Amino acid sequence: MTNKASLKRVEDFVEFLNASPTPFHAVRSAKLRLEKAGFKQIKERDNWTPSLTPGGKYYLTRNASTIVAFAIGQAWKPGNPVAMVGAHTDSPCLRIKPVSKRSGDGFLQVGVEVYGGGMWHTWFDRDLGAAGRVMVKTQGGGMEQKLVRISRPICRIPNLAVHFGGSVPFEFNKETQLFPILGLVSAELNRTGQTAEELSKETSEAEKEASFNPLKTPTQRHQPYLIQLIADEAGCKPDEILDFELVLYDTQAACIGGLNNEFVFSARLDNLGMTYCAVEGIVQSLSSPSALKDDSTIRLIACFDHEEIGSESAQGADSNMLPSVVRRLSCLPSSADSSEKSYDKVNSNGDDNATAYEQTLATSLLVSADMAHSINPNYSAKYESSHSPRMNEGTVIKINANVRYATNSPGIVLLQECARRAKAASYQPPGTKTSSGGVPLQLLVVRNDMPCGSTIGPMLSASLGVRTIDVGNPQLAMHSIRETAGCYDVEHGINLFESFFEHYGEMEGKVVVD
C-alpha cells in the first residue's frame, strides 16, 4: 500500500509536467525551482569574472529552451572536476507551420509539421491545445518574447471510421492526413458576422492600408481567431504579434494512476522525467547550508533542447553550449584568489592555468540522463531477457557495445558507489530496501535484432573527451502522446543524482583509467 508521504515527491513531479507543455515552459519551470533554491541568473554575453565566486549558485539559459545551472564548491581550484548531469527538455510533437491556414469541406484546419520521431498514430482523437513562444511588438518599437498556453482543447485529428476501412493496419499520410481540425466554417461565420467570401480573403482592408510587410502578417498566414486566442494569452493585440513558435499538446493532465498509485500517466515523460530529476537532484544536494563548504568540485546540470532531432542547433547538446560553459568555469579562481577576481594564467600557488580546461575535462564525469525502456508485458519477446528493466525498481544504466550509449565499466563502478551511498527512497519494492539506505540500479541492453536509440551521451563524450555514463528511469510507450512511468523511480533518480553531486569529488581519484 502507498501512503501520502511516499507520493509527495511524485505529486510535485506531476505539477512540473503539467506546467511544462513545451521546452520553453520546462525551462521556466526549472528556473522557478532553481531561484527558489537560491540560484542567481547570469548571461552568456556578460563577463562572469565579477559575479562568480566559490560557494555561489548560478544558472543561464540559451534560446529560453536550454538551461545550465551550477554550484561552485568553496574548495574549488582551477582545473578541478565538474560533476555533470545532462538531460533534454524537448519531446516529439506537432508544430504549427509558418503558414498554417487550411480549410476544406466546411472545416477550418491548421497545418502542422512533425517534430522528432513521435508515435503519430497516438495523436489521433486527442484533445489538443497549443503552447509555445510568441514574439510581440512593444510600445517603444522593440520586441519581446512571451510564453503562451491555450489550455482548452481547440483542435483534434479525427480518425477515419472503421466502416470506411480505417482500421488495421493503421496507415496515414503525415502531410495530408495529420491536419487537426480547428472548427467549422459555419461557426466562424456566425462568430464574425462575415460572409464566406469575406472570410476567405487573406487581406483585410485595414491590412491593405498598412505599411509594407516583407512577409504576410500572422493573421493572413493563420486562422484569424487562432491569432486572437494567442493574443489573449499573451496579453496583447492581434496586430502586435510578430511571429511565434507554437506546438500542439495533449490537454489531458498528467496524473498518478494504477491500482496502488504506482504509475505516472503523462505526455513528455521522455525527457521531462530526467530533467526534473536533474533539477531536483542538484537542489536537494545543496539543501544543507554547509553543502559546498569542503567541496572541491562544481556541481552542474545541463538540460538541452533539440535532442529528439539530433541536437545540431545553437541550443542543442551538439553545440558549443556545454564546452563554452565548462571552459569558463575551469579557470575560475579558488577562494584564496577570488578576492583578486582574476582569470590570469598563474594562480596564487604559481601553477600555470593554461591547461585548466583540459585538466577539468580529464577529471570530470557526465551522467547523460534520458528515460529508458521498461519491459512491456504484452511484448516481452522484444526485450533482451537478462536486461529487461522494470518500473519502480530503480534507475537504469544503459549499455551498448556500438556506443549508442556512452557507458563503460569505470562509469558503472563509480555510479554503483553513488547509488550505495544515496539516501533510500521513501518507498522501494519488497526485497530491495536496506537499513543503511541506497537506491537500486538496473541494466539495459537492447537485443541484437532490435534497433537501439541514442542520447546526448556519445556526442558530448566525443566532443568533450569527458567520461560519460548513460542512465534513465524506465518507462513504457516512449514517444507516445501518453506515456507511463513508475512513481517511485522519480525519487530513485533524484537521490542518485544528489549522491553523485555530494560524493563525486571524493570518488573521482579512486577510479582512474588513463
Task: Give 69-85 pLDDT, tens digit per residue.
Answer: 999 999 999 999 999 99
- Judged against a pLDDT cut of 80, whether residue 283 lies above it is answered with yes
The H-assigned helical ranges of 286-353 are 321-330, 335-338
Calpha distance 486→374 (Å, rounded): 9
Higher pLDDT, 12 or 165: 12
What is the full DSSP assignment across 436-477? T----EEEE---TTS-----HHHHHHHHH--EEEEEE-EEES
pLDDT at 346: 45
**Highest mean pLDDT of the ranges 1-10, 209-218, 246-255, 501-510:** 246-255
Given pLDDT bands bounded at 50, 70 and 90, which one contains residue 1? Answer: very low
Q: What is the pLDDT of residue 513?
A: 78
Q: Give yes or no for a contact between 406 and 470, defined as CB atoms under 8 angstroms apart.
A: yes
User: What pLDDT is recorded for position 349?
Assistant: 47
Q: Which of 349, 403, 276, 287 is nearest to 79 (CA)?
A: 349
| 214: Cβ contacts below 8 Å, ≥ 6 apart | none
Phi/psi of residue 154, nearest 5 degrees: -110, -10
- Element (H or E) spanning 115, and its range? strand 107-115
Mean pLDDT of the chain: 92
Top-confidence residue, 345 or 217: 217
Q: What is the pLDDT of residue 329?
A: 97
Flag whether pLDDT at 40 surpasses 90: yes
Give the per-residue pLDDT at 157.
97
Residue for grid cell 522484444? 382
pLDDT at 343: 47
Q: d(Cα 90, Cα 23) in Å, to the nearest integer?
A: 5
Beta-sheet pairing, 40-41 with 241-250: unpaired
pLDDT at position 395 over 60 = yes
CA distance 274 to 265: 15
The predicted-structure confidence for 464-514, as pLDDT tens digits, reads as follows: 999 999 999 999 999 999 999 999 999 999 999 999 999 999 999 888 778
- What is the three-state SS of 226-292? HHHHHHHHHCCCHHHEEEEEEEEEECCCCEEECCCCCEEEECCHHHHHHHHHHHHHHHHHCCCCCCC
Query: What is residue 259's predicted lDDT score, i.e. its pLDDT?
Result: 97
Mean pLDDT calculated for residue range 318-330: 98
Q: Record the cell numbers describing residue 150, joined without a space.
A: 491555450
- With a pLDDT cut of 90, the percent of the chain lying above it is 82
pLDDT digits (tens, 9 = 90+) for 234-261: 999 999 999 999 999 999 999 999 999 9
The DSSP result for 91-105, as a single string, is --EEEEEEEEEEEET
- Mean pLDDT confidence for 185-194: 90
Q: Read off the amino acid at residue 186.
A: S
pLDDT score recorded for residue 209:
58
pLDDT by residue (tens digit) across 13-24? 999 999 999 999
Q: How far apart are CA 489 and CA 425, in angstroms?
A: 9
Average pLDDT for 93-113: 96
Inform me whether the pLDDT recorded for 196 exceeds 70: yes
pLDDT at 194: 82
pLDDT tens digits, 406-415: 999 999 999 9
pLDDT of residue 348: 46
Task: State residue 168's pLDDT score.
Answer: 67
Residue pair 280/33 in contact by the 8 Å Cβ criterion: yes
Calpha distance 220→98 (Å, rounded): 11
Mean pLDDT, range 291-320, rounded to an integer: 97
Q: Which three cell numbers stand for residue 383?
A: 526485450
Q: What is the pLDDT of residue 183?
A: 94
| Residue 39 confidence (pLDDT) above 90 | yes
CA-CA-CA-CA torsion sign (17, 23, 25, 27): positive
